[in-house]
Chain A
Amino acid sequence: MADALPKSLEHLVERLSTLPGVGRRTAERLAHHLVRAPQAEALSIADAIREAREKIRPCSVCRAPAESDPCPICADPARDPALVLVVETARDLKAVEDSGAWKGRYHVLGGRVSPIEGVGPDDLALDALVARATEGVREVVLATNPDLEGDGTALHVEKALAPTGVKVSRLARGVPAGGSLEYLSKTVLAEALDHRR
């Protein structure tokens, strides 16, 4: 067996490999790069992590990560507060926002119902959404991803919203099964929004 990595380097590899999509080998490559790169450059990454962690908080209205509370979208009087688009994650929010097709506001669930991974509806920000729905919201549009757990999540959101009587619609199915919002083209996303049911 080859020599183990120095303790601190090993610790860095171990920390990096906890990131999503980063395996042991990628973590080693990143760690070696970080210790070889100029000190200021490497440490600026640590500073950026610290700064983001300190400044970013979930918006108390829509749960989107933001530096201000309410977030810029919730604070924007031009965005219709009676229309709320529900997404699983902030990355999905960004995908919809980039399409420029949505003039209402958002609600970020912060995940999806996944019985297989032990995540239930109680683990999502559903109560906050239900509370919002009773305060002048005209329509809630469900834009969860078009796959088993995304649709299952939408079913649970619909069920939670049913007692409020608010109108609930879903994105039209221009969206290929198994595909995710993040990877859709702007045109497809805009069309799915226009043809929501």
Chain B
Amino acid sequence: MGAPRGYRTVAIVVRTVDFAETSQVVHLVTPEHGLVPALAKGARAHKGAFQGGVPLGVLGEADLLPRRGAELELLRSFRVTDGLRGLRDDVDRFAAGCYVLALLRDLARPALGNEALFLAGATALKAVASAPPPAAGTWVAVFEARALSATGHRPHLDPCPVCETEVGRDALFSPVAGGVVHRRCAPEGPVRPVSPADREVLARLYTARLPSFAAEPLGPAALRAARGVHDLFLPWVLEREPAGRRALA
């Protein structure tokens, strides 16, 4: 077996921790290598390949070298391609951006590429950073839907996944069943009533194309419906409260 080969990849920086005198441990989400924990040696020194450190919450190009038997890959250089400055000039954008980064970190798996998840994250961060702050909620909900779909958790909306007949008016969202079910079909576990209007919101969230959300962001009622369902669904998928969700507007 030869020495491990280095590679270049686009990446989103989802975590940075200072390490020793001038180094950093960074967590990157990449399209083809999933979550990559890496050591950036001397990253915070004045000079060198990093110019003062790898910043959290940016898009960039990473040059990585896996090290045999080591948990951390070596980050040889990192170039910021989009600093996502918009996340830093408004409280709501900041909260939304941090939440997207946290959810990305929680859903990405080490050594398991997931191009759709990466794309959902990159798109959401760019949208939150550039859209008017009130639209941040829409992009967060859209990101949640795309990220859940990209990781195999796209909910069944119709027919009922238990009895496979059309869902009527009296429907519940059941994370255990993986979607919207008849009240009579709901398995044990947490549930939440979903009105026909709520189900329309979910259908739009999980199937509409991105430009439609830019043209027409979710209204307050739609946002509440999406938030309610994901409040129930995400902790079930992650098996814990998603970091940063509490801070959302």
Let me know if B243 and A117 touch, CB within 8 A: yes
> Quick one: which of B51, B84, B105 contacts A176, CB cutoff 8 A?
B51
Number of A-B contacts (CB under 8 A): 86
User: Which residues in chain B, 80-137, are within 8 Å of chain A measured between CB atoms?
Assistant: 80, 83-84, 87-91, 94-95, 97-99, 101-102, 105
What does the 1/0 interface line of A131-152 toward B look like (CB < 8 Å)?
0000000000000000111011
* Residue A116 interfacial (CB < 8 Å): yes
Q: How far is the CA of A156 from the CA of B55 in the complex (A)?
A: 20
* Residue B224 interfacial (CB < 8 Å): no
Contacts of A180 in B (CB 8 A): 44, 52-53
- Given known A-B contacts A116-B15, A183-B52, A148 and B244 have beta carbons under 8 A apart: no
Let me know if B91 and A155 touch, CB within 8 A: yes
> Quick one: which of A114, A116, A159, A178 contacts B54, CB cutoff 8 A?
A178
Max count, chain A CB within 10 A of own CB: residue among B89, B91, B247 = B247
Contacts of A183 in B (CB 8 A): 22, 44-46, 52
Let me know if B98 and A115 touch, CB within 8 A: yes
**Number of contact residues on A: which range applies?**
20 to 34
B interface with A by C-beta (< 8 Å): 14-15, 18-22, 44-46, 51-58, 80, 83-84, 87-91, 94-95, 97-99, 101-102, 105, 243-244, 246-247
- Closest A-B pairs by Cβ, 10 of them: A179-B52, A178-B55, A115-B244, A151-B88, A115-B98, A148-B57, A152-B94, A115-B247, A178-B53, A116-B102
A interface with B by C-beta (< 8 Å): 20-21, 23, 26, 114-118, 120, 147-149, 151-152, 155-156, 159, 176-180, 183, 185
Sampled A-B contacts (27; CB under 8 Å):
A21-B20, A115-B94, A115-B95, A116-B102, A116-B243, A116-B244, A117-B243, A118-B244, A120-B246, A147-B55, A148-B84, A148-B94, A148-B97, A149-B56, A151-B94, A152-B94, A155-B91, A156-B91, A159-B91, A177-B80, A178-B52, A178-B54, A179-B53, A180-B44, A183-B22, A183-B46, A183-B52
For the A-B complex with A116-B244, A185-B46 known, give 12 more contacts whose Cβ atoms are closer than 8 Å: A115-B99, A115-B102, A118-B243, A148-B55, A148-B56, A151-B88, A156-B91, A178-B51, A178-B52, A178-B53, A178-B80, A179-B51
